[in-house]
Copies of this chain bind each other. A is one copy, B any other.
Amino acid sequence: MAVKILLVEDDTAIREMLQLPLHKAGYAVREAGDVRTAKALLLEDPPDLILLDWMLPDTSGLDWARTLKASPITKDIPIIMLTARGEEEDRVRGLDVGADDYVTKPFSPRELVARIKAVLRRTAPITSEEPVEVEGLRLDPVSHRVSGNGEALSMGPTEYNLLHFFMTHQDRVFTRGQLLDQVWGTNVYVEERTVDVHIRRLRKALALTGHDHLVQTVRGSGYRFSQTP
């Protein structure tokens, strides 16, 4: 699923300069020239990260950052402040306000992208890293390994993700559409029958240690992962 970025910057030149690099980096960017517009976009579809200019026509970006970080709803959205050189004092206040990082103008698009990645990495929610085990079938997210009764099982990335999702959501039927959303990510256009193929590949991998019976078909509905048939 594409990472959504809200770019709040009144300088059109900078916005245009960033458009292409951010898009090439795989980010879905939405732009605003002032805080008023930004607020509207924020409510409409909350982004995963906000690039916030320090100087804005209506409200100070700094003030808005403080507001965002104060609200329990928006406080977890990371903010990178864009500051002009010579606003060192502002920069300090920016971090003080709760911004996650700052970039000093002029900056290279490459540096910005690198910082975005770093911030997203740092603020990423801690995903379940606990090993899961069912009937001797073991999946360890930390080492990224799957084994059946101690014997190593090898599979592709998609099959691994599929299995991880199944093992953490047992005894529940999922439609092909739900699996596409959860495992492939939303906003992907893929045929539903593709799920069948990956189910097949997963079963084939699990069959090596006889664990393929855990992946069950519910005719007319979808698939289920369960110990009981």
Please tell me which one of the listed residues B34, B95, B171 contacts residue A96 in the complex, with CB atoms under 8 A apart: B34
Specify which chain B residues have a CB less than 8 angstroms from the CB of A11 in the assembled complex. 88
- Tell me if A125 counts as interface (CB < 8 A to partner B): no
C-alpha gap A96/B37 in the complex (Å): 8
- Inter-chain CA distance A111–B16, complex, in Å, is 14
- A173 & B142 in contact (Cβ 8 Å cutoff): yes
CB-based closest 7 A-B pairs:
A114-B189, A157-B220, A144-B173, A143-B171, A57-B92, A121-B177, A144-B218
| Chain A 180-205 interface mask (CB, 8 Å, partner B; 1/0) | 01000010011000000000000000
Contacting residues, chain B, for A36 (C-beta < 8 A): 95-96
A88 and B12 contact, CB distance less than 8 A: yes
Q: B-facing mask of A13-41, CB < 8 A → 1, else 0? A: 00000000000000000000110110000
Residue pair B10, A88 in contact (C-beta under 8 Å): yes
Interface assignment of A58: CB less than 8 Å from any CB of chain B: yes
For the complex, count residues of A whose C-beta is within 8 A of B: 47
> A115 contacts the other chain (Cβ, under 8 Å)?
yes
A117 contacts the other chain (CB 8 A):
yes
A10 adjacent to B92 (CB under 8 Å): yes
Q: Is the CB of A37 within 8 A of B157?
A: no
Pick the interface stretch among A65-73, A207-215, A221-229.
A221-229
Are the C-beta atoms of A177 and B144 separated by less than 8 Å? no
List the B side residues contacting A96 at CB < 8 Å: 34, 36, 58
In Å, the complex CA distance between A165 and B58 comes to: 47
Q: Are A143 and B226 in contact (CB under 8 A)?
A: yes
Name the distance in Å between A100's Cβ and chain B's nearest Cβ: 11
